[in-house]
Amino acid sequence: MKGDSRRGAGYTFWMTSTPHKIVNAMSVDVEDYFQVSAMAQHIDRAEWDRIPCRIERNVDLLLSIFADNGAKATFFTLGWIAQRHPEMVRRIVAEGHELASHGDAHLRASEQTRAEFLADIVKAKVILQDISGQPVQGYRAPSFSISEENLWAFDCLEEAGYRYSSSVYPVHHDHYGMPDAPRFPYSPGGQLTEIPVTTARAFGRNLPAGGGGYFRLLPYAASRWAINRVNQDDRKPAIFYTHPWEFDPEQPKVSGVDLKTRFRHYVNLGRTEGRLRRLVQDFQWDRVDRVFGFAAH
């Protein structure tokens, strides 16, 4: 896609020309069920290595869904996962998908010092590149944990050699969100580009349209409507995300979690596969780097 940039309100916005049918960006946050931020108070990080991982079965299912429909995706992968499942990482790359970083230890950026965050994102980048033999250009913060309170994280990402981030969700949420952030790719400063997770503008507010729990909990028609609205009204590509554990209804249940967390994490796990198969048929999908112009030449 061709594009030009226009400056305004302190940001650089990328205006993308619209083909006959817009190609959207598919992404996967590669983490296992016991690494989810909402479970952190119930599962000691020191116990991770003692918990059987279910990640390979679920990633293989996603790779199969994408292959069946000719879709490519970006896999934002934890360094911790990559070290323990290097062949899975190589399969992702061998099948033509983009490998990107989700940090090393699934630590929220907002809970780290600047030095700790920089060390985490550098470590993850080195691990992923060493295993895959491919450059890693993109990063996504766990739980979209870059906000107005830690904008220094963008400087760290540029210092670590990342070209783009997809760490901002311009919505109101009790665990994350920067509702006043731009809805489409912008420069937060320097050469780094932030690609916010997609929202649809309706009823005077940003509605989540980029996947995750909303994709599981709401009827499929809601996601299809929101992505169509962005493609047709905004004339922009959407960026969608999901997690491998969202396709695993047989995953062990974590004890002691509150009712809200239980609802958000477990409801409709058995329906996600069918919904994703519909989504990749209803829209065209490619890797984040290619959709937004960061593919290596």
- Prediction pTM value: 0.90
Which residue would you say has higher pLDDT here, 211 or 9? 211
Decide if 170 contacts 144 (C-beta within 8 A): no
Structure tokens at 292: 């937004």
Can you tell me the distance from the alpha carbon of 281 to that of 272, in angstroms, rounded to the nearest whole number? 14
Can you tell me the distance from the alpha carbon of 197 to that of 184, in angstroms, rounded to the nearest whole number? 8
User: Domains in the chain and their CATH numbers?
Assistant: 19-291 (3.20.20.370)
Mean pLDDT of 89-117: 97
Can you tell me the distance from the alpha carbon of 282 to that of 25, in angstroms, rounded to the nearest whole number? 13
* pLDDT per residue as tens digits for the range 53-83: 999 999 999 999 999 999 999 999 999 999 9
Burial class (CB in 10 A: 0-12, 13-18, 19+), 233: exposed
pLDDT at 236 over 80: yes
% of the chain exceeding 90 in pLDDT: 77
How many degrees, rounded to 5, is the angle at CA 97 between CA 270 and CA 139?
90
**168-182, 221-235, 257-271, range with greatest mean pLDDT:** 221-235
pLDDT at 239 over 80: yes
* pLDDT per residue as tens digits for the range 147-189: 999 999 999 999 999 999 999 999 866 566 688 899 999 999 8
pLDDT of 178 reads 85
Query: pLDDT band at 16, cuts 50/70/90?
Result: very low
% of the chain exceeding 70 in pLDDT: 90
pLDDT of 139 reads 98
**140-149, 154-163, 249-258, 267-276, range with greatest mean pLDDT:** 154-163
Q: What is the mean pLDDT of the chain?
A: 90
Which residue would you say has higher pLDDT here, 41 or 281? 281
Decide if 277 contacts 56 (C-beta within 8 A): no
The residues near 153 (Cβ < 8 Å, ≥ 6 apart) are 109, 114, 117, 141, 146, 167
